[in-house]
Amino acid sequence: MATTLYASCRRRAALAAALACTLHAQAGQPGQPGPIALPAYNIDIGQSSVSGLSSGGFMAVQLHVAFSATFKAGAGIVAGGPFYCAQGALVNAIGPCMAASAASKPPTASLVSTTDHWARQGLIDATSNLANARVYLYSGSIDSTVKQLVMNEAQTYYQHYVSSANVFYKKDLPSEHAMVTDAYGSSCGVKASPYINNCHFDLAGAILQWIYGPLNARNSGTPGGSWIEFSQAQFIDRPATHGMADTGWAYVPASCAAKGRCKVHVVLHGCQQDPTRIHDQFYRHAGYNQWADTNHIVLLYPQTAPASPANPNGCWDWWGYDDPQYATKNGRQMAAIKAMVERLASGDAAARPQAWKR
């Protein structure tokens, strides 16, 4: 999405534009009256998990590692990379963390060392929480944005903490840089908005089944749950100034709305997939909702927003454009999403929005 742009990048803002242009796609507005406070449900927070694509993939790793005591069930990483890959530098993000080569790839041994150090300091949760997690990794064999070498290093990183038997890595499908589905989107080898490609493979279902084990067959018809547009300002002050949209979305199966016992799975879109770009296409069509319907899973779809000049294309903060603590438990976006999960899992307790704002 921006090979020629790289050559002209001479300032940080230009580099940020290059990164955002290469990474990609999300969500919109299914016609609700307006945002509300995020409701609470009967959720087993110990069964929480997260997945994401591209910048959302890097963010999913951050959430999984930093909040491993919360996201115990596991994570699905699509075209992401190892934890703290960019090390707070944009040049690392668009270099070894995306356009990796044999001579320039993520420094996984150093990233493991940083992870261990931060865990000892309490900046992230204990790495021992990762031991029993289930991790699904996906890299398209022709992904020209986040090269497969980067995801290979993500596998090496995770296998330092997670049993090899619990890490699954699919890398044999000739897909470009996109969320892969079996029924919606562009052709598999296309790299273009909305960055959702029909490769005749149900990646969302594969991720959820790897994390949670055997599931009921997905709903083959129209999803029967409800959409909630909620205010993200409950969880982060002035969200638009920190790269997040004013509102996010949640998909709630009927069984969960009726207070049945449920799980929560966080789904993170990539750059250029925020509501201003592709409206509701990502959270409607990424493939998760039909599985959630029949398996008691609330889906949380937090949303980014373009914030020029540092983040013009609505990426998640995985290189420090907003916050030097972006990969720790104190990171603004990180803490906001964690608080959303806690809110969803708080049962029938009365919500006090100010208590959830980070």
pLDDT confidence bin for 21, thresholds 50/70/90: very low
Convert the pLDDT of each residue in 152-185 to its tens digit.
Answer: 999 999 999 999 999 999 999 999 999 999 999 9
Q: What is the pLDDT of residue 307?
A: 84
Check 48, 54, 55, 139 and give the catalytic one: 54
The single-letter code of the amino acid at 283 is Y
Instruction: Mention every residue, 6+ apart, whose C-beta is less than 8 A from residue 336.
Output: 232, 235, 236, 239, 244, 302, 358
Reply yes or no on whether 279 is catalytic.
no
Quick: pLDDT tens for 52-64. 999 999 999 999 9
Determine the pLDDT at residue 243.
Answer: 96
Looking at residue 354, its pLDDT comes to 34
Confidence check: pLDDT of 289 > 80: yes
Q: Is the per-residue pLDDT at 31 higher than 60?
A: no
Mean pLDDT of the chain: 90
Name the residue range of residue 304's domain. Answer: 3-356
Catalytic residue among 143, 293, 317, 323: 143
Looking at the structure of the chain, the number of domains it has is 1
Kindly report, residue by residue over 307-343, the tens digit of the pLDDT: 878 899 999 999 999 999 999 999 999 999 999 999 9
* Calpha distance 32→23 (Å, rounded): 29
Q: How confident is the model at residue 141 (pLDDT cuts 50, 70, 90)?
A: very high
What pLDDT was estimated at residue 235?
A: 98
Strands (E), 114-212: 134-138, 167-170, 179-181, 186-187, 196-198
pLDDT at residue 33, rounded to an integer = 61
Average pLDDT over residues 216-228: 94
Percent of the chain with pLDDT over 70: 88
Query: Does the active-site annotation cover 317?
Result: no
Q: Six-digit token pair at 169?
A: 């890595």
3-state SS string over 276-330? Answer: HHHCCHHHHHCCCHHHHHHHCEEEEECCECCECCCECCCCCCCCCCCCCCCCCCC
Q: What is the pLDDT of residue 34?
A: 73
Distances in Å between the Cα of 255 and the Cα atoms of 28, 36, 176, 211, 225 are 24, 20, 36, 21, 8
Burial of 238 (0-12, 13-18, 19+ CB in 10 A): exposed
**Predicted pLDDT of residue 223:** 87
* Of 24, 64, 177, 242, catalytic: 177
| Range of lowest pLDDT (41-50, 110-119, 192-201, 219-228) | 219-228
User: Which residues, other chains included, contact 227 with Cβ-Cβ below 8 Å and sequence gap of 6+?
Assistant: 30, 32, 249, 250, 251, 252
Cis peptide before 194 (omega within 30 of 0): yes
Say whether pLDDT at 301 is over 50. Answer: yes
Summarised one tens digit per residue, pLDDT across range 238-258 is: 999 999 999 999 999 999 999
User: Does pLDDT of 353 surpass 90?
Assistant: no
Is 274 labeled as catalytic in the residue annotation? no
- Average confidence (pLDDT) over 40-65: 98
Res. 210: pLDDT tops 60: yes
pLDDT score of 306: 95
- Between the CA of residue 271 and those of 56, 60, 173, what are the distances in Å? 8, 14, 22
pLDDT category of residue 355 using cuts at 50, 70 and 90 = very low
